[in-house]
Amino acid sequence: MALFITDKCTNCDMCLPECPNDAISVGDEIYVIDPNLCTECVGHYDRTLSQILCKHPFQLNGARLGDHQNQS
């Protein structure tokens, strides 16, 4: 199952260079995630990139992952 980026994406460009699988790319209006490449960061990070970096976390299977914001 892959993550997807919602329309709340602000195109901040923080996730693109950090994706360990190069699954994130520039879409028509916001970034998009290739579901064939996305591993939900398993084996690379303790949490998904959106939970670490993003003010508007990516979604999984239509359910909100939570309002995790970068704590650093």
pLDDT of 1 > 80? The answer is: no
Instruction: Tell me which H or E stretch contains 31.
Output: strand 31-33
Count each helix (H run) and each strand (E run) in the chain, helices first.
Answer: 1, 5
pLDDT tens for each residue of 24-62? 999 998 899 998 998 888 899 888 887 888 876 666 544
Helix (H, G, I), strand (E, B) or coil at 26: strand
Q: Considering the domain delimited by 1-61, tell me its CATH architecture.
A: 2-Layer Sandwich (3.30)
Q: Taking residues 3-22, report their average pLDDT.
A: 87
The larger pLDDT score, comparing residue 63 to residue 59, is at 59
Instruction: Sketch the domain layout of the chain as residue ranges.
Output: 1-61
Over residues 14-18, mean pLDDT: 90
* Single-letter residue type at 55: K
Cα dist. 23→7, 16, 20, 67 in Å? 18, 8, 8, 22
